[in-house]
Amino acid sequence: MKDFSALEKKLDIKFKNKDLLIQAFVHRSFLNENPDFHLFHNERLEFLGDAVLELIVTEELYKNYPQKLEGELTNWRAALVNAKMLANIAQKIELNNFILLSKGEIKEKGKARQYILADAFEALTGAIYLDRGYKVCREFIKKYLMEELPKILKECLFRDDKSRFQEQAQEKVGITPNYRVLKEHGPDHAKQFVIGVFLDKELIASGKGSSKQEAEEQAAKNALETKNW
């Protein structure tokens, strides 16, 4: 078993329930090869962590930038909580050393590993929230994620296709785009998603990806081309 006490020391967060910390790093594929492992995979913690992360980032932006409008803050938040950013932070704090994967998944590189890292960061956020509460969780997010905001603003990294399409749609037709899963297929550890972007009830374009976020980004890119915006 990996030495999770080393991670506690690195993060300066001592867990009361060590199993909660370990569970944040249990990938579904690991359980396929180790069905008798005493913990469940990390997807429920990831689900919780995603919501906690968004709340904390939203609260920090709301408090620290009182003059900024909702649309701008939404774009900044999207740049902070996207999979690429979370994977980069996870690499910086070396979460990769703690993820429990199947032998086959260990060999995966590129985007597949990026999403595993991002998911682990979200699951860890959920575990910190459950074990140590909102205050400790907020300090963790401020320390490792919010410090990236100056770079995002300096390099305009918040202007992704999804943000651009939302800006254009609100400006030109007064509608906020919404995204819906049209199709998903493949095994749990290698799912493929097809997501449509709609203006009201009208399907404008669709996109494919190995995560919902990636498919939404592709759908937004295609929608910009379709609308010639």
* Measured CA distances, 218 to 138, 143, 176, 179, 213 (Å): 31, 31, 17, 11, 9
Residue 161: active-site member? no
Distance CA 210, CA 229 (A): 26
50, 127 Cβ separation under 8 angstroms: no
Phi (first) and psi of residue 42, to 5 degrees: -90, 10
User: Longest Cα pair distance anywhere in the chain, in angstroms?
Assistant: 56
72, 153 Cβ separation under 8 angstroms: no
45, 22 Cβ separation under 8 angstroms: no
Active-site hit among 46, 50, 161, 217: 50
What is the residue-wise DSSP string for 193-210? EEEEEEETTEEEEEEEES
Active-site hit among 46, 60, 105, 122: 122
Residue 122: active-site member? yes
Angle at 175 between CA 169 and CA 179, to 5 degrees: 85
**Type of residue at 84:** K
**Residues recognised as catalytic:** 50, 122
